[in-house]
Amino acid sequence: MGAQEKSPGNANSIQRVKVYRLNDDGKWDDQGTGHVTVDYLERSEELALFVFDEEDNETLLLHRISPGGIYRKQEDTIISWRDSEYSTELALSFQENTGCSYIWDHICNVQRNMHFSSLNNETFHTMNSELREFPAVELSTLPIILKTVTENGLADQMRLTEFILNDQDFFQKLMELFRICEDLENIDGLHMIFKIIKGIILLNSPQVFEKIFGDELIMDIIGSLEYDPDVPQVQHYRNFLKEHVVFKEAIPIKNPMVLSKIHQTYRVGYLKDVVLARVLDEATVGSLSSIVHSNNATVISLLKDDSTFIQELFSRLRSPTASAESKKNLVYFLHEFCSLSKSLQMVQQLRLFRLKG
């Protein structure tokens, strides 16, 4: 590779990173420490992330930057993504916040340039390629909205995402229509809303995911996906989540953000693995998996910093008056807690395991 010939000897701590790879057991394996840079691939106009080992200058990582929304920036020092070439999650843990921001901005700029280049070179346009405005969300306009969402080129996908994000009430209005159609048993309307929501999810926009996976909307979103026109029977995903998925609190969790993240994680995973398992593309699956991993890391991080919670956990485990069932649930919780802690950075894992109840 052309970039490999360049010595990173002048790289400073801003570009110093650890490379991590998620193994089959869900644990982050340390792949080594080096210096990261963005450079062109040899004999190519494509840009990639290179990480060179700080000891022997060997290539620890070569990742071709993707135009898709696969990248996530976490805790100011981590950039992670689902890498199709390696078929797993990869992460860069930066020594300094400024280095993380610097590379993140580079990735975003490369993606913007890739989008503009694609738009300039696109020769085939569908009938929506001159999309100027988005239809008002009404029962009578559902066919137009469906056509707009499902029949578009790259230019319209970007513009469509902008329209959806700029309309603060878009999803609330669409879900109101969903409830009306469900009350009226309007199957044609329900089938159209299913296709609209599926099409929007396949836009694979992190900002859109942030909206539709929030506590206010996610159950209606899942409900709208019960009406797949390609499936003979109506599904009952909401009933399953409400009646059969019981969240057992072995120990009370008082932080509302933690509770929200726990519920969101299960629902997003259920949507990925069950509701839309047969229709999602690899990029969208990767993005949803990243949300799950990020949520798990957030939950563990918030709980480990709650000294009262940790103390109460071990106090209950030691209590001679606790029932066998209670202790069993506490042990299950502690096992899950430790298992999910593998998603944390190594430094944070060490801090966690030094905690004493």
CATH number at residue 40: 2.30.29.30
**Between residues 46 and 251, the one the model is more confident about:** 46
Where does the pLDDT of residue 349 fall: very low under 50, low under 70, confident under 90, or very high at 90 and above? low
Residues 56 and 198 in one domain: no
Residues 233 and 88 in one domain: no
Which of 122, 156, 188 lies at the terminal end of a domain, its last residue?
122
Where does the pLDDT of residue 4 fall: very low under 50, low under 70, confident under 90, or very high at 90 and above? very low
Rounded Cα gap, residues 84 and 105, in angstroms = 22
The pair of structure tokens assigned to 344 is 């944390």
Residues 178 and 49 in one domain: no
pLDDT for 317 equals 76
Rounded Cα gap, residues 92 and 298, in angstroms = 17
Where does the pLDDT of residue 302 fall: very low under 50, low under 70, confident under 90, or very high at 90 and above? confident
Lowest pLDDT segment from 45-54, 71-80, 283-292, 329-338: 329-338
Q: Is 206 within 8 Å of 72 (Cβ atoms)?
A: yes
Q: What is the arithmetic mean of pLDDT over 296-303?
A: 79
Q: Which domain holds residue 274?
A: 141-354
Task: Please give the mean pLDDT across all residues of the chain.
Answer: 81
Spatial CB neighbours of 311, under 8 Å, sequence gap ≥ 6: 357
Residues 297 and 162 in one domain: yes
Whether 244 maps to a domain, the answer reads yes
Q: If DSSP states are collapsed to H, E and C, what string results for 191-209? A: HHHHHHHHHHHCCCCHHHH
CB burial of residue 118 (10 Å; 0-12, 13-18, 19+) = middle
Residues 176 and 287 in one domain: yes
Whether 8 maps to a domain, the answer reads no
How far is CA 302 from its chain centroid?
Answer: 19
Which of 87, 122, 157 lies at the terminal end of a domain, its last residue?
122
Where does the pLDDT of residue 323 fall: very low under 50, low under 70, confident under 90, or very high at 90 and above? confident
DSSP state string for 95-160: SSHHHHHHHHHHHHHHHHHHHHHHHHH-----TTTT--------GGGHHHHHHHHHS--HHHHHHH
pLDDT for 123 equals 36
How far is CA 284 from its chain centroid?
Answer: 9
Q: Is 4 within 8 Å of 49 (Cβ atoms)?
A: no
Q: What is the arithmetic mean of pLDDT over 154-182?
A: 86
For the chain, the helix, strand and coil percentages under 3-state DSSP, each to the nearest 5: 55, 15, 30
Residues 297 and 195 in one domain: yes
Whether 4 maps to a domain, the answer reads no
Whether 49 maps to a domain, the answer reads yes
Residues 98 and 184 in one domain: no
Predicted confidence (pLDDT) at residue 71 exceeds the cutoff of 60: yes
Which of 88, 122, 156 lies at the terminal end of a domain, its last residue?
122
Tell me the pLDDT tens digit for each residue of 107-154: 887 877 776 555 444 433 443 445 556 788 888 889 989 988 887 655
pLDDT for 246 equals 63
Whether 2 maps to a domain, the answer reads no
Residues 219 and 347 in one domain: yes
Residues 160 and 31 in one domain: no
The pair of structure tokens assigned to 178 is 């969903």
Rounded Cα gap, residues 207 and 357, in angstroms = 39
Considering its fold, how many domains does the chain have in total?
2
